Amino acid sequence: MSAWRLLVLAVGLAVLGLGGWWWSRDAPPPPLSAAAYMPVATDLPVTPIPTSLKLDARKVALGKRLFHDKRLSRDDSTSCASCHRLDFAGHDMRPVAVGIDGQMGSLNSPTVFNAGFNFRQFWDGRAATLEEQAEGPVHNPLEMASNWHEVLIKLRRDRAMITEFERIWADGITPAHIQEAIAEFERSLITPDAPFDRYLRGDNQALNAGAKEGWRLFRDLGCIACHQGVNLGGNLYSSLGVMGDYFADRGKSIQKSDLGRFNVTGLESDKHVFKVPGLRNVVKTGPYFHDGSMATLDLAVETMARYQLGVRLSREQLSNLLAFLESLNGLYQGKPI
């Protein structure tokens, strides 16, 4: 390059640099008070979703395939993703699940997004881990109606599948490895970077005024007593109908699935006790409640206030709480779910 060209280039770069400086002087970033980047409060029982997790990428990839594999059901009609559609926020949008042969279940499908943060799995908490949970639907006669014996026969006929397992485990395809891979995939289904998470990390602008007021109500009314932890739920059990008889008022006879934790422990005090569901992405996961009886989020929130806290919400309180819940929508691999 000639000296002349070098000079032109240098002048050009200098002009660009100056331009950038002027530009940034003309449009300074919004002023930040010292408080804006301070944690809002450190003693809160809620925490943001981590932005990444250390996972085994090979297991995640295999688990993703298995999650979508219909051979896990008796007649090859149903995969995990049939009821937990990743393009439908990880659930099926139905009040209650529909399994093999169109059989109606009696429970609402929870989302699989962020399920890895729950302290136990299922509405009644009967599975301690995602690994243990993954066995349930395969054997459930109303869901996939199969068993490991049948599933293994089918998968072991598939050369590519065998190779994929053997790349990770010397003993190849086993029920435990199927569960491990599916669980690892599910742990990857996280939705960080919700406006609320950015707010918790110190970005005071991330919530609008309504959402901020909703967050205050969420704490002051006492929703946070039950909905806490990284999922704003999923880390404790609570009875449904603390301040009123939800089931008497529902007007539908009580089903076995309404008994919740009682089905696991047999304790009278566990009747109608459920794992408190997480509220991440909740605007997208209706219908709501274990029985799918709440068609809209407005109704779910009003019912919560009334039966769990004994409060009748004003219209304004309801709309602020909804604005807060809206701020819990996160991103899966950088995109809204």
Contact 294, 305 (CB under 8 A): no
Least distance in angstroms from the C-beta of 238 to ligand HEC: 4
Using the CB atoms, write b or e for 205-217: b if 16+ within 10 Å.
ebbeebbbbbbeb
Using the CB atoms, write b or e for 43-52: b if 16+ within 10 Å.
eeebbbbeee
Contact 240, 246 (CB under 8 A): yes
Question: 256 is written with which tokens?
Answer: 């076995």
How far apart, in whole angstroms, are the C-alpha atoms of residue 66 and residue 158? 13
Which of 240, 318, 328, 337 binds ligand HEC (CB under 6 A)? It is 240
Q: Please identify every residue annotated as catalytic.
A: 143
Q: How many residues bind ligand HEC (CB under 6 A)?
A: 53
Distances (CA, A) of 261 to 81, 238, 275, 299: 26, 9, 8, 24
Residue 95 is a binding residue for ligand HEC (CB under 6 A): no
Which of 71, 84, 177, 212 binds ligand HEC (CB under 6 A)? It is 84
How far apart, in whole angstroms, are the C-alpha atoms of residue 188 and residue 1? 51
Which of 59, 64, 89, 110 binds ligand HEC (CB under 6 A)? It is 110
Contact 197, 149 (CB under 8 A): no
Residue 259 is a binding residue for ligand HEC (CB under 6 A): no
Least distance in angstroms from the C-beta of 35 to ligand HEC: 27
Interface map 287-326 toward ligand HEC (x if CB under 6 A): -xxx------x--xx--xx--xx-----------x-----
With respect to ligand HEC, which residue has the nearer C-beta, 47 or 106? 106
Residue 151 is a binding residue for ligand HEC (CB under 6 A): no
Least distance in angstroms from the C-beta of 59 to ligand HEC: 14
Alpha-carbon radius of gyration of the chain: 25
Closest listed residue to residue 288, CA positions, set 110, 123, 142, 120:
110
Stretch binding ligand HEC (CB under 6 A), from 3-11, 53-61, 129-137, 187-195:
129-137
Residue 182 is a binding residue for ligand HEC (CB under 6 A): yes
Task: Provide long-range contacts, Cβ within 8 A and 24+ apart, for 265-268.
Answer: none
Applying CB under 6 A, which residues contact ligand HEC?
72, 78, 80, 82-84, 97, 99, 105, 107, 109-110, 112, 115, 118, 121-123, 130, 133-134, 137-138, 143-144, 182, 186, 221-223, 225-227, 238, 240, 242, 274, 276-277, 279, 282, 285, 288-290, 297, 300-301, 304-305, 308-309, 321
